[in-house]
Amino acid sequence: MIPQQSHSQTAYEVVIGVEVHAQLRTQSKMFCGCGTTFGLSANSQTCPVCLGLPGSLPVINKAAVEMAVRAGLALNCRIGEHNRFARKHYFYPDLPKGYQISQYEAPICEQGWIDIAAGEASKRVRIKRAHLEEDAGKNIHGAGAGVSVVDFNRAGTPLLEIVTEPDMRSADEVVAYLRSLRDILMYLGVCDGNMEEGSFRCEPNLSLRPAGQQEFGTKVELKNINSFKFVKDAIDYEIKRQTKVLSQGGTIQQETRLWNLERGETAVMRSKEEAHDYRYFPDPDLIHLKLEREWIEGFQGGLPELPAIRADRFVEQYGLPEYDAAVLTATKDMADYFEAAIQLFNQPKTVSNWVMGELSRELKTSGTTVDRSPVSPHRLVNLLEMVEKGTISLKVARDIFPEMYRSGQAPEQIVQEKGLTQVSDEDALATIIDDILASNPAQVAQFKEGKQQVLGYLVGQAMKVSGGKANPGKVNELLKRKLG
């Protein structure tokens, strides 16, 4: 992407890399037995290890290592057999030990990639590394007059930090990458993907360079972004800001900037540290973690069908358009819902339309996820079968769906209670049609003069009078007969 031309007519290219901190869905923390439940009362999930008390010793959580290996395999990474944990030193009140246990020289995953949708085409984003580390606690400011407090419940929670190469060139590509990555981790069940609760945090870093230049410009890291919309807004803002600075002859400072949601702009948080500022060294309290090659490879066969592959299969197996396949496989639960319905009612495109249309609309309005949908795949299929058999019209089906959703009732029950069964009986329809013809003499005359399109209007009128219950095929047929 080439952003705006500057006053001096220099065009800049934006170069973006992304760091993601994904919280792993383990039962216990990275180096101790404390729980990882979100939202419990402050400091209720702590022990001497995660509080950093003297004399306590960390122990590596095997489940976290397994999750990192599975994620690494799904991200096409090389899994390191020789793992070291390192201490990353910095001082902050939410970090009681004065260092964070992370991985530096020997990360568990390296040199992977994922393909993302970039406009019409797909683009490969390289993953430089993914390493295990522990989370810090949380400072809470303004808890009382002039007082800040610390909650260590989150301290020691396992994170997988996933770092890309600087391969992205626009905010849209970054969002596409983040969506794909989040989908993959959620499919694997290693991260719940909840951005508001901080389970999936993204920190883009970006720099500008004159178009055509190989050398990178100075990069700025963006923090405090907890939705895909804010990712896009923050990057677009930062591109404009840096373009302006550079085109006025200024220089960009290497720094970390926070996205300020209220003001819609980024502001300096701190100047960026270099790796040597952290004085990394191997943690002497932890063993050198050696993973057996067979143990690693054992996970390969157990990986679930990932979103991109499942989308391809939906196109191939069900003949769905690529758009439908991408929407339906965006989450595992949605794809599972679709396939459960298809097992019962083998009309993929019809089911896809209902899932992407009516069902998604209700889910969105009520803020519900598809795994909690009050309309099960079975119920949806009941409704589609009623249309298929001609018991109700498509219009009635669409009308009663919101009620099925709200009440949890079966479609048969709603149709029966409301008397919505489709009218296909010719005598009953003939009465309606005679009325329509009598009250629309002008249209009848136009039809007889050869204006075929008037027929659609008359069918519409008949449907309206019948409250959507008339069988439109039959109405069409009878109208033609009577007008003919």
Q: Which is nearer to Zn ion, 50 or 181 (CB)?
A: 50
The 20-59 contact track toward Zn ion, x by CB under 5 A, reads ------------x-x------------x-xx---------
- Binding string, residues 127-166; x marks residues near Zn ion by CB under 5 A: ----------------------------------------
Residue number, 72 or 158, with CB nearest to Zn ion: 158
- How far apart, in whole angstroms, are the C-alpha atoms of residue 334 and residue 355? 8
Q: By rule CB under 5 A, what count of residues binds Zn ion?
A: 5
CB of 35 to Zn ion, least distance (A): 9
The distance of closest approach from Cβ of residue 413 to Zn ion in the complex, given in angstroms and rounded to an integer, is 52
Q: Select 107 or 156, whichever has its Cβ closest to Zn ion.
A: 156
Least distance between Zn ion and beta carbon 92 (Å): 18
Quote the least distance from Cβ 157 to Zn ion, whole Å.
10
**Cβ distance to Zn ion smaller for residue 155 or 163:** 155
CB 133 to Zn ion: min, Å: 15
For the CB of residue 29, give the shortest distance to Zn ion in the complex, in Å.
5
Q: Least Å distance between CB 156 and Zn ion?
A: 5
Nearer to Zn ion, 50 or 127 (CB): 50
Give min distance, CB of 13 to Zn ion, in A: 46
Scanning residues 190 to 249, which ones bind Zn ion (CB under 5 A)? none
Q: Quick one: 56 or 218, whose CB is closer to Zn ion?
A: 56
* Closer residue to Zn ion in complex, CB, 66/134: 134
> Judged by CB under 5 A, does residue 60 bind Zn ion?
no
Cβ closest to Zn ion, residue 32 vs residue 178: 32
The residues of the shown chain that bind Zn ion, judged by CB under 5 A, are: 32, 34, 47, 49-50
